[in-house]
Amino acid sequence: MNAVNEIKGLLFEELELIVRTTSNLIRRIEQDQWEYKPTDQMRTLRELVEIATHAQHHRSQLFTYLKLLGHDVNMFDLY
């Protein structure tokens, strides 16, 4: 069980880093830069941010799995 807790701790650290650094990068985007696309094969800045926010969908999936497993979770855990 100690190994599980260690992995959880590392996961939490990584998630916090991802949120902090992505937030800092998004703040740098200026209004007229959202549709910037370096080449036709690459995504726009707006599309990249949409990909990053797609994690909310998976958060809801995790919530549902935990609920089905009998964990005491409710909608306030999501917001």
Look-up of token digits 């999501």: 78
- Parse the chain into domains and list their residue ranges: 2-77
Torsion of CA 73, 6, 58, 37, to 10 degrees: 150
- Span 19-78, pLDDT tens digits: 898 889 899 999 999 999 999 999 999 898 888 888 888 888 999 999 999 999 998 988
Percentage, residues of the chain above pLDDT 90: 52
Judge whether 26 and 49 are in contact, CB under 8 Å.
yes
pLDDT for the residue numbered 77 = 87
Q: Which pair of structure tokens corresponds to residue 67?
A: 């609920």
